[in-house]
Structure 1
């Protein structure tokens, strides 16, 4: 079966982590394009409100309260999608949690719980999704991070989980391609995004954490996810810094080490006293229904790099137009020089002597 991804308006899309942040921004954008949605998160009350809002706007959404770390829950999500819509065309593994603190200070239990959500949640969702997608075609989209390519201090276990997501996603893609399965597999790698990640994270620092700038709006990440739902693409970076971090990790790893030692600690620490450590959503849901957390500075509403990736035809046309315009200016300049040179032999000769 040849791989063919549908237009968003013809798709049924499963989104985990849909109660806040990137997942919520993606759900709202997809609804505006009339995709039918299956929204997944732990917070049932938040999911109900989001689904009600989407349905009132003329789109169609159902919700399933589930924990991505539970394989049976993910199987139940797929069953609900099949029961209501006859199946699904795209599955997005967006759910994730964070921990801030030095590796030696974070408890082993918290590390394991983060991996249960960030890594095993992706594995559970992916394996359930591809079992269905192999029979009808579609897209699997996993949420990685710039830390999938380059780990950062004070987010060690988070970085490790995103490294693991990359390894699993890359290997799964090759296996599906080798057997000719009609499934597009994409890894999304955002830079710092203004979501609820910091607010929801478990914090071991003495102050409240923040994300290093530049920080991008969650809608930019949503654009990347929805582009991957319609176009078969291997990797997508959100924000130019994510791409630069990946390149730097490959070409100048030790220089990045030194830079992080000097700057990253300051960039990830605020001047606010740390809240109570138990105020997090590592084990249970907390505040939801918000796309942005407002932690770390004003978010950039656009990314030239990501816009170029999600609008390649427009970008190509602009680059071609710019190239033609520059060529026309260059030719005009040459013609003027030629005209100036032939209009008066004396002046041209004098100019030449003066120049050289």
Structure 2
């Protein structure tokens, strides 16, 4: 699929990783359909895609509604052409202990963050499978493997996405399909979510350091779209460390997060009483404003991730390492033969 202009759909494209990925797709000349609820953010993101060199089609949609998502996909194909890439990134969440999250709030987070991915994937498959080509990219998180305190609804949804993705991948492999699905596991990212997600914390929410800029995540999303046969990609050393530590010492990680997880997810500033909430309606809707791709942590966020580069180029790095080892071994044999 690489080497030509593509038709790309990105959900959650009005802010954060989705917006940064949409702009990066646009910068290489792709036609990008931007799906999200907030019309202000969508309009601004579309302008950024066009300024970068791409074609933009903003489509207001709530991914919790399958008929709306499927209708959006039909519109994309009518106006831009057959969909080559579908990126699922839309989400919402609640920052609070389990005891302070209402059942309807758990349901809403699940409908957007998990079922939104299911809806997007099914809309994409309905169009890609008959053509026997296409790539689906699920934007995941280290929290798809490791739950943390104060984010139970989000962690549960990401775990569900991981299980859904595993099953989907097996089915596509079983069918020998030309459609491929991959997942990109993300670290803490400097996005606006910490200023619009429903929070009942006493202080302002923050990502757990180290924090990365959304463009770091976007690079891996675009790469994964071009190389979707890989099972998954990890972005950031903290993602790799979290996933691996959970495999070998989950109990110790429970105790560590019990001690540190509350303080590490909050700044020293009190949470504003009038902070926007995007759980039920977009924070960048009527009366709101465009939040952009970045949050308020630019001064603390990393612009590069050597680990993410290694994850994207693991095969080449492995081949080079094997080649180097083979050369060293051959040199040793020649020395011994003299």
Instruction: Give the TM-score normalised by structure 2.
Output: 0.89
Task: Quote the Cα distance in structure 2 between the aligned partners of 1:278 and 1:132.
Answer: 40
Q: Does residue 1:176 correspond to 2:172, yes or no?
A: yes
Q: Secondary structure at the match of 1:10?
A: coil
What stretches of structure 2 of length at least 5 have no aligned partner? 285-289
Deviations 1:304-356 (A, max 9, x none): 1101122346645875798799x69x99xx9xxxxxxxxxxxxxxxxxxxxxx
Q: Which residue of 2 aligns with 1:309?
A: 311
List 4+ stretches of structure 1 deviating above 3 A: 311-325
Q: Which residue of 1 aligns with 2:287?
A: none
* CA RMSD, Structure 1 to Structure 2 (Å): 2.4
Q: Tell me the CA shift for residue 197 of structure 1.
A: 1.7
**Whose radius of gyration is greater, 1 or 2?**
1
* Cα distance change, pair 277–112 in 1 and its aligned pair in 2 (3 A): farther
Number of matched pairs: 326
Q: Does residue 1:265 correspond to 2:267, yes or no?
A: no
Aligned with residue 286 of structure 1, among 260, 283, 287:
283
Q: Which residue of 1 aligns with 2:103?
A: 108
* Cα distance change, pair 144–41 in 1 and its aligned pair in 2 (3 A): same
Q: Tell me the CA shift for residue 188 of structure 1.
A: 1.4
Task: Quote the Cα distance in structure 1 between the aligned partners of 2:24 and 2:49.
Answer: 10
Aligned with residue 147 of structure 1, among 143, 146, 162:
143
Deviations 1:9-40 (A, max 9, x none): 42111000111100111011111111111111
Question: Contact conserved, 2:25 with 2:54, CA < 8 A, in 1?
Answer: no
What stretches of structure 1 of length at least 5 have no aligned partner? 1-5, 335-356
Task: Quote the Cα distance in structure 1 between the aligned partners of 2:24 and 2:174.
Answer: 33
Deviations 1:25-75 (A, max 9, x none): 101111111111111111223322332343355421211110111111111
Alignment of 1:221-260 (within 5 A): 221-231=217-227, 232-260=229-257
* Cα distance change, pair 159–76 in 1 and its aligned pair in 2 (3 A): same
* Cα distance change, pair 143–38 in 1 and its aligned pair in 2 (3 A): same
Question: Contact conserved, 1:99 with 1:201, CA < 8 A, in 2?
Answer: yes
Q: Secondary structure at the match of 2:98?
A: coil
Question: Contact conserved, 1:31 with 1:59, CA < 8 A, in 2?
Answer: yes
Task: Quote the Cα distance in structure 1 between the aligned partners of 2:266 and 2:41.
Answer: 30
Q: Tell me the CA shift for residue 220 of structure 1.
A: 1.2
Q: Tell me the CA shift for residue 258 of structure 1.
A: 1.3
Q: Tell me the CA shift for residue 128 of structure 1.
A: 0.9
Task: Quote the Cα distance in structure 2 between the aligned partners of 1:197 and 1:8.
Answer: 34
Which segment is superposed worse, 310-319 or 230-239? Answer: 310-319
Task: Quote the Cα distance in structure 1 between the aligned partners of 2:52 and 2:242.
Answer: 39
Question: Contact conserved, 1:8 with 1:30, CA < 8 A, in 2?
Answer: no
* Cα distance change, pair 322–164 in 1 and its aligned pair in 2 (3 A): same
